[in-house]
Chains A and B, each alone.
Chain A
Amino acid sequence: SSELTQPPSVSVSPGQTASITCSGDKLGDKYACWYQQKPGQSPVLVIYQDNKRPSGIPERFSGSNSGNTATLTISGTQALDEADYYCQAWDSSTAKVIFGGGTKLTVL
């Protein structure tokens, strides 16, 4: 299967660590990346090639990818991190880009 599965929602208290998972068949064999999207805005890349941060992305964002699961971790979560998060990978077997269904992160 070339689908990516994310939990619809994750809640976290300010200052705590949020973890968002993305599951897919042999996902660890592919590069995974993550996007943050706030209401009315375009997505922003926060992690690429499993664990690299683009310039300007805070160090509290980190990523990992192994087996069938990629994980986005936000340490010391802040209110401004509240957003939808999407994972994405390239499925070489079908030569297509695949997105997860998105996870709404609530900071409360």
Chain B
Amino acid sequence: QITLKESGPTLVKPTQTLTLTCTVSGFSLTTGAVGVGWIRQPPGKALEWLALIYWDDDKRYSPSLKSRLTITQDTSKNQVVLTMTNMDPVDTATYYCAHRLTGDAFDIWGQGTMVTVSS
């Protein structure tokens, strides 16, 4: 059974760097065609894709946020980490990580973690 769980701070101050961890189980990050993505959703608003990392360490980023994002994976810990610099109140959202299925759909999502940006 594939599961993903997000963890990280619930509150960050403006200008700080956010670090979120996605711990996965039920699959290997190094298995061919596997990918893990990060998606966020501000309260009451639509889903927004942030980043995606593949089994071969290839990485993709949202063009509008690319300068602020870094996605990495620690295969020994079964974790995918997302960092976002220079946080702003508009970055307040629920952040999800999700398992990528072939065809670039996300078939299994974590429960999400709510991050509030406020001084």
Determine whether A48 belongs to the interface, using a CB cutoff of 8 Å to chain B: yes
Q: Are B105 and A49 in contact (CB under 8 A)?
A: yes
Nearest B residue to A37 by beta-carbon distance? B47
Q: Are A98 and B49 in contact (CB under 8 A)?
A: yes
Determine whether B57 belongs to the interface, using a CB cutoff of 8 Å to chain A: no
Q: Which residues of A contact B60 (CB under 8 A)?
A: 95-97
Docked CA distance A45–B49 (Å): 15
Q: Which of A10-18, A67-75, A99-107 contacts B (4 or more CB under 8 A)?
A: A99-107
Q: Say yes or no: A96-B49 contact (C-beta < 8 A), given A42-B96, A42-B110.
A: yes
The residue among A88, A96, A98, A102 with the most chain B CB atoms within 10 A of its own CB is A96
Determine whether B48 belongs to the interface, using a CB cutoff of 8 Å to chain A: yes
Q: Which residues of A contact B63 (CB under 8 A)?
A: 94, 96
Docked CA distance A45–B39 (Å): 14
Q: Are B111 and A97 in contact (CB under 8 A)?
A: no
Determine whether B56 belongs to the interface, using a CB cutoff of 8 Å to chain A: no
Q: Which residues of B contact A96 (CB under 8 A)?
A: 49, 60-63
Query: Which residues 75-119 of B sit at the A interface, judged by CB distance below 8 A?
Result: 96, 101-107, 109-112
Residues of A within 8 A of B (CB): 31, 33, 35, 37, 42-45, 48-49, 54, 86, 88-90, 94-102
Sort A-B residue pairs by CB-CB distance and give the 3 closest, nearest first: A33-B105, A90-B104, A48-B105
